[in-house]
């Protein structure tokens, strides 16, 4: 298994979308959305990540947002805004 520091989420997302777009509908939708230059980067800090869209006009549809979050979670990453505050 890869160390989380060695995983580049944006590249893995693109690679998976390119390889699965012809056989899996959701991956085809993600690939088309990525191809429209909506996502600038997936910023990572250890196992925490967040999305950076290309502009204020870019949108992240809910079905893509939730699918990418689920996909990244399976890889061991936690979305920044899902972290519970500890007092």
pLDDT of residue 15: 96
Q: Are 25 and 4 in contact (CB under 8 A)?
A: no
The answer as to whether 8 is a domain residue is: yes
C-alpha distance from residue 87 to each of 8, 46, 80, 84 (Å): 31, 22, 17, 10
Task: Convert the pLDDT of each residue in 27-71 to its tens digit.
Answer: 999 999 999 999 999 999 989 999 999 988 888 999 999 999 999
Domain-embedded: residue 28: no
SS3 74: helix
User: Would residue 77 count as lying in a domain?
Assistant: yes
Biggest distance spanned by C-alpha atoms of the chain: 47
Q: Is residue 6 part of a domain?
A: yes
Q: Which domain holds residue 10?
A: 1-19+34-48+67-82
Residue 84 confidence (pLDDT): 83
User: How many domains are there within the chain?
Assistant: 1
**Residue 25 resides in a domain:** no
């Amino acid at each position: 298994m890869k160390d989380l520091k060695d995983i580049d989420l944006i590249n893995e997302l693109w690679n998976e979308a390119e390889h699965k777009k012809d056989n899996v509908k959701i991956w085809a939708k993600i690939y088309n959305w990525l191809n429209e230059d909506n996502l600038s980067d997936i910023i990572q800090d250890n196992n925490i990540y967040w999305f950076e869209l290309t502009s204020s006009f870019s949108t992240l549809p809910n079905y893509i947002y939730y699918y990418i979050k689920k996909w990244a979670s399976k890889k061991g990453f936690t979305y920044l805004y899902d972290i519970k505050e500890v007092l």
